[in-house]
Amino acid sequence: MWSHEVPSAPNIAIVGVTGAVGQEFLRVIDQRNLPFDNLKLLASARSAGKQVEYQGKTYTVEELTEDSFGDVDIALFSAGGSISKKLGPVAAEAGAVVIDNSSAFRMDPNVPLVVPEVNPEAVQGIEVGNGGSGSSGGGIIANPNCSTIIMLVPVTPLHKAARVKRMVVSTYQAASGAGQAAMDELELQSKEVLEGKAPTCNIFPFQYAFNLFSHNSDIGDDGYNTEETKMVKESHKIWNDTSVGITTTCVRVPVMRAHAESINLEFEHPLDEEEAKRILSEAPGVSIIDDRGGKRFPTPLDASHQDDIYVGRIRNDQSRKQVAGHGIDLFVCGDQLRKGAALNAVQIAELLLAGVPAV
C-alpha cells in the first residue's frame, strides 16, 4: 500500500550546480538512472549562462531567483545555508520538495532529517508532484552532515541489534568536506612544499599538506566545535533518542576525498565481533574490508567515488572485559561528496518516487 501517487519522471532542479556537490549530483543522477522529465540547472548570477553537456543534451545554467521553482517537483539544494534559508521555503511554497544539503533546516523539529538506510519512515506525508500547483504540496527534507551519515549507516544496524548506550567517535576528514577550493589548495600546497616553497594558505590558516589539525569549524564555550556538535545532535534526532551518550573529536587530514572515522561503541546488550560482522555484512550501504592476516582494512581511497561505507577493524573492545561482549570498535571510510552529500539526497528522491509505505 502506498501513501500517495508520485510522478514517474519529475521535474528536477539542482541548486548550486557548479559547486563540488552540485557536480556530484549530476554524476549520481546519471549513474543511478534517476528519471526526470525536465532538468533545471541553477546557480548564482556569476555562473548563469554557462553551458553544460549532460546525457547528450546541452543545458544552460540559469540564475537562481525566487521565481525559479514554479515548474519544479524536486529541488536538490547545495548552495550554502544562507541560500537554503532564503529560497528553500520559497521552493517548497511553490510545490517543490526541497532536499537540502546544508545545515539550515537539520535541527528544525518540523523538517525530517533523513538517511534512507536508517530512517526512511521520516519522509511520511511529503508528496512529490505538486510543482507549479501552488497547493500545500511540497516540503523540505534535510540531508544530515556528511560525518553523521558516514557514522550512522554502519552503526544503526548494530544499534538496532544491541542498543548503543555510548559512542566515542574520532573523524579524519578530507579536503572534499571543505569544498573544491580546499581540494585545490591541498594539491597546490603539496607541490609547493615538495619544491621547498612556502605553502599558499587561503582556505585554512594552517599548512594543510603533510599536516593535520582540529576541524576548522567554530568552537563553542563547551570546547566542542560545530562539526562535533552536529554529529551529536543530528544522531539523536535521526534515531529519535537523546539518551545515547555521544562524544566526538573531528580532525581535518590531508586526504583529497573521503572521510574516515574511528568508532567505539558501548552496548546495552551483548554483541561480539562475530555477530557484528554478520550484521554488517547484511546491512544496506555497507561493505566490509577486514582482513587481519593481510592487514587490509578500509582506506579513503577505497571509498572514493563509491556508494557504500567501508567498515573494518571490527573487534571486541578490550577495555570492557568486565562487561564481556558489550563493546565493539570499528574503523569506517565513506566518500563525503557521494554518500555524505549527493548520493544521500538522490536516494531520498528515489525513496519519494518509489512511494513510501503507509504507516
Question: Could you tell me which residues come within 8 angstroms of residue 75 by beta carbon, excluding any fewer than 6 positions away?
Answer: 12, 13, 14, 15, 69, 91, 96, 97, 98, 99
Helix (H) or strand (E) holding 52: strand 51-54
User: In this structure, what C-alpha cell is assigned to residue 54?
Assistant: 549532460
Is 146 part of the annotated catalytic residue set? yes
- R_g (Cα) of the chain, nearest Å: 21
259 annotated active-site: yes
Strand partners, 262: 170, 331
**Grid cell for residue 82:** 544562507
Catalytic residue among 159, 215, 259, 326: 259
Angle between helices 273-281 and 146-162 (to 10 degrees): 120
Sheet with 11-15, side-by-side order of all strands:
62-63, 38-43, 11-15, 74-77, 97-100, 139-142
Catalytic: which of 146, 250, 326, 333?
A: 146
Catalytic residues, by residue number, are 146, 259
